[in-house]
Amino acid sequence: MQTSSNKKQLVIGNWKMNGSSAENASLLLSLLPVISRFESVEVALCPPYPYLTTVADLLDDSDVALGAQNLSAQLSGAHTGEVSASMLHDIGCRFVLVGHSERRALYAEDDDLVAKKFATALRAGLIPVLCVGETLAQRQSGETEVVVTNQLNAVLKAVGIQDLVKGVIAYEPVWAIGTGETATPEQAQAVHRHIRQYLADQDRAAAADCRILYGGSVKADNAEQLFNQPDIDGGLIGGASLDAMSFAAICWAAQTGPITDSIAI
Ligand code: PEP
C-alpha cells in the first residue's frame, strides 16, 4: 500500500551567480503574474546574496518564498565575507541551500561542514535544503546509494531524524547538474525511494512527510515525468530558473493534488 500526504510539491529556483538588478526585475515581472495563478505548488527563489533584499521586496505581494544559496556555519563575529543564518532570517529568507555540489566540489565543503550548516540554519528558523548526490564515477562504480546514505548520515548524526525532516532534501546527481543530462525518471525515482526508505527505517511518519526534490537539468519538457514519480516532491532548478517561461512551465508541471509516496504501510 502507498501513503499519501497533503504536502504540496515544492519548486526552488537556484539562480547561482547570475543576474543583475535589471535582469532580476525583468525576470520577476514576467514570472510572477503567471505563477501567482498556480495554487497547488510552493515556489521559492534563491538569488545571489547582494540581490536578496531587492528580490524580497519584489516578492512581497506574492506567495513566492525567498531562499539563499549558502550560509556560514558560524553564528557571528570575525568571519570576513561570510553571511550568517540569523542575517538571512532577518531579511526574510525562508529557505537556504546547504551542501550544493558546487559548494562541495569547488569550495571544499565536506559532510561535517554541511551538517553544521544544516543545524545552524534550522536553529535560526530557516528551512535548510540539503543537497545530496553522486558523481558520474561513483554512479558507474555502483556507489550511488552508499554516497547518498553517507551524506544523509552526516546530518542525521548532527541533528537526528526529527530535525532532518524539518528541512528539505534535494537529490542532485552531480553528473546531471548544468550538463543538460537528466537522470531518467526511473533513475531518479530509484534514488528517491532509497532515501525515503532509509528515513522510514528510522521514522516512518517523518519519512512520509519529508519533501525530496530532484535537481539536475530539469527543463519544461522533462519536468512532468520527473514530478509524477511517487517519491519526487518537486525540483531544484538551476539554469531553467533564469528563464521566466521555462521556470513557469516547470512550476506548472508540479501542480498536483496530494502527493502519494512509495512507503509501504
Ligand atoms: C542546481 O544548480 O541545483 C541545478 C540543478 O542546476 P541545473 O538545473 O542547471 O542542472
pLDDT tens digit sequence for 32-79: 999 998 989 999 999 999 999 999 999 998 999 999 999 999 999 999
User: How far apart are the C-alpha atoms of 207 and 232, rounded to whole Å?
Assistant: 13
pLDDT digits (tens, 9 = 90+) for 189-205: 999 999 999 999 999 99
Per-residue pLDDT at 148 exceeds 80: yes
Q: What percent of the chain has pLDDT over 70?
A: 94
Q: Which domains does the chain have, with CATH numbers?
A: 2-259 (3.20.20.70)
pLDDT on residue 243: 98
Q: How far apart are CA 170 and CA 192, in angstroms?
A: 9
Tell me the residue type at 113: L
SS (H, E, C) 51-95: HHHHHHHHHCCCCCEEEECCCCCCCCCCCCCCCCHHHHHHCCCCE
pLDDT score, position 51: 98
Ligand 1 atom closest to the Cα of residue 170 is: 3
Question: What pLDDT does 17 receive?
Answer: 98
**8 Å CB contact between 12 and 129:** yes
Query: Who's near 183: CB < 8 A, 6+ residues apart?
Result: 173, 176, 191, 214, 216
User: Which of 214, 232, 237 for a ligand 1 pocket mutation test, highest count of atoms within 8 Å of Cβ?
Assistant: 237
Q: For ligand 1, which residues put their CB under 6 angstroms from it? A: 14, 16, 172, 177-178, 215-218, 236-240
Is 90 or 264 the better-scoring residue by pLDDT? 90
pLDDT at 94 over 80: yes
Looking from the CA of residue 176, the nearest atom of ligand 1 is 10
Pocket test for ligand 1, best of 177, 213, 222, 250 (most atoms within 8 A of CB): 177
Predicted confidence at residue 157, as pLDDT, reads 97
pLDDT of residue 13 exceeding 60, the answer is yes
One-letter amino acid identity for 238?
Answer: G
What's the sign of the alpha-carbon dihedral 236, 239, 244, 246? negative
- What separation in Å is there between the alpha carbon of 113 and the centre of ligand 1? 21
Distance CA 132, CA 151 (A): 6
Please report, in range form, the residues annotated as the binding site: 14-16, 178, 217, 238-239
Residue 1: pLDDT band with limits 50, 70, 90:
very low
Between strands 259-261 and 127-132, the pairing is unpaired
For ligand 1, atom 8: residue with the closest CA: 238
Name the residue at shortest CA distance from atom 1 of ligand 1: 238
Q: Which residues contact 68 (CB under 8 A, 6 or more apart)?
A: 46, 49, 52, 83, 88, 93, 95, 96, 97
Q: Dump pLDDT digits (tens) for 223-256.
A: 999 999 999 999 999 999 999 999 999 999 998 6
Between 109 and 37, whose confidence is greater?
109
Does residue 261 surpass a pLDDT of 90?
Answer: no
Q: What is the pLDDT of residue 72?
A: 98
Q: How confident is the model at residue 265 (pLDDT cuts 50, 70, 90)?
A: very low
Q: pTM score > 0.85 for this model?
A: yes
Q: Give the whole-number percent of the chain exceeding pLDDT 90.
A: 90
Report, as residue numbers or ranges, the catalytic residues. Answer: 100, 172
Q: What is the pLDDT of residue 263?
A: 65
Residue 260 has pLDDT above 90, yes or no: no
pLDDT computed for residue 258 by the predictor: 44
